[in-house]
Structure 1
Amino acid sequence: MEILNSGFHRELKYSLKFAPVISCEVLLVQEIPSSVYVDVDQLFNLNKLNKIKTFVPYYIDVELPTSKSSPFKVYMFENVRKSVNITLPLHFRYHEPSDKKFNRVEIESPKIYLSNCPVSRGQGVLLPCRNSSEITDFLELASASFCEWTETQYSTPITLSFLIPVGNIKSYAFVLPITIFISWIACLFLTYVIIKKSREISKKVL
């Protein structure tokens, strides 16, 4: 598992190797912390292009800051092959201003499950079926069907750690009035330009 790109919009890449290769379906269940979100519309489009098959059983508000968000899970489906690569787009939420320059965000390895295998070991658990990835209506999320999956262990679970920049709360008293002042100046200027142009157009029409 590795992170690609930089900034607030990144990609989480999973690389899985299976030996021996068997005819199975694999499911990755990734816990996403409150400071991170996925764009469900983006995942729908990637699903149409057959780039990733995912199911997110919640409505994700992409505008919320970290303090008002909750952790959630993303379900990713694939067929077992000798080598499986899955890339999940991730986006980081804004944090509340503080006296720290950065906040640390950690993402742990996903849990991995197998289904429809010739030989299965362990007790099965009910998790969303692969066809759940075809649901595109938020109102139908609760109607997703469940299938039996068996958790499998893997050799290298890891935890990825990121530093997310945070606004300086000490600058709040300075930045807020300056921002409001500049916004008002811009609005007044735009109003002036619109009125001036409308008068010019009216004269030409007359």
Structure 2
Amino acid sequence: MYIVLFSLLVCLWRCHCLVEKDEYQDLEHCEMLKQCLEASTVTVALTKKGFHRELINTVKLRPDTPRDVRVLLVHKWPSGVFLDPYQLASMSDQRDWQILFNSTIDLEMPAHKTSGFLTYVYPSYTGSTPTLLKVKIPVHGRYHEPSFTGEMFTSVSIEYPELLLRTEKCDQLHLLEPHTVVDAPCTVSNSSTCSWVKVRHREEFGPLSFQLPVGDGSAVAYICGGTLFVTVICCVALSKYMWKHKIV
């Protein structure tokens, strides 16, 4: 009887030690993740001109960031631009990041007939975690409504992406306050949702803006009338030619 009780106490003591060890390790991982959140930043630059631009995201991580820490960039795109899924698919061998769209992208729709959309960008790395991660995204401007006020350009603003981090080794996410915990797809396959922690933006970071040309709305009547007139003239001339040469 005493042997059984002694064995039971030993087992309970070992279980207690294992639980304490797991909790201590979890606290360590959460503290490391919090340090990564405090030190990580994302900067954005817009290159090229006209309707076809390139948005360059640069994510800066702590040099000692653990390899199990995952990175996610969440972009909220305005209706004035679009990303071409077919172009991105053709670039899959040339880039070290993956992208997930939250909706289907219509490439031909003008800006005033569509809405904004979200993308989830997953930078990937092998080996040791790099200090800098670069993501270059080709961005295309949509055609906008003609202007009836004489304006020749319209402004499009692209917000800074949200930088999210996560690690499966930190379960006590309440320890990461004041950082916000949000739900987002775990991977680009979008098969499940995970809890990610948002890196706080610096206040000096504002949206990036660029100009796109727009048509002159006051000239619509003249353009339509001229197009119709030229079309009628061409049809009459073509009909006369066919009648003269007996072309059926």
TM interval, shorter chain, is 0.7 to 0.9
Shift of 1:27: 0.5
Distance 2:239 2:58 in 1: 54
Q: Does 1:84 find its partner at 2:133?
A: yes
**Deviation digits for residues 54-102 of structure 1 (CA, Å, limit 9, x no counterpart):** 0002111111111111011111111452011101111111111112211
- Partner of 2:91, secondary structure, is helix
Instruction: Pick closer, same or farther for the CA change 1:66–1:2 going to 2, 3 Å.
Output: same
Identity %: 32
1:62-101 matches, cutoff 5 A: 62-79=107-124, 81-98=130-147, 99=149, 100-101=151-152
Corresponding position of 1:27: 72
Q: Say whether 1:172 aligns with 2:220.
A: yes
1:125 Cα offset (Å)? 2.2
Which letter does structure 1 place at the counterpart of 2:78? P
Residues 3 and 176 from structure 1, CA distance in 2 versus in 1: closer, same or farther, beyond 3 angstroms?
Answer: same
User: Could you say which structure has the higher strand fraction?
Assistant: 1
Does the 8 A contact of 1:113 with 1:150 survive in 2?
yes
TM-score of the pair, normalised by structure 2? 0.65
Stretches of structure 1 that go unaligned for 5 or more consecutive residues are 133-142, 193-198, 200-206
Q: Distance in 2 between matches of 1:43 and 1:160?
A: 22
Q: Distance in 2 between matches of 1:112 and 1:187?
A: 59
How many equivalent residue pairs? Answer: 184
- Alignment-derived partner of residue 15 in structure 1: 58
Whether contact under 8 Å (2:162, 2:198) holds in the other structure is yes
Give the superposition deviation at 1:186: 7.1
Q: For 1:34 and 1:159, how far apart are their aligned partners in 2?
A: 15
- Partner AA of 2:165 in structure 1: L
Distance apart, 1:118 and its partner CA: 5.7
RMSD of aligned C-alpha atoms?
Answer: 2.8
Alignment partner, residue 158 of structure 1: 206
What SS does structure 2 have at the residue aligned with 1:131?
Answer: coil
Larger radius of gyration: 2
Q: Is the Cα contact below 8 Å between 1:21 and 1:81 reproduced in 2? A: no
- Residue 130 of structure 1: how far off its partner (Å): 2.0
- One-letter identity of the residue aligned with 1:129: C
User: 1: distance between equivalents of 2:233 and 2:97?
Assistant: 46
- Structure 1 residues 18 and 68, CA, compared in 2 at 3 Å: closer, same or farther? same
1:106-154 Cα distance to aligned partner (Å, 9 max, x none): 111111100227667245322012232xxxxxxxxxx642222111124
Work out the CA distance in 1 between the residues paired with 2:161 and 2:116.
14
The alignment partner of 1:47 has SS state of coil
Question: So what's the TM-score if we normalise by structure 1?
Answer: 0.77
| Paired residue secondary structure (2:188) | helix
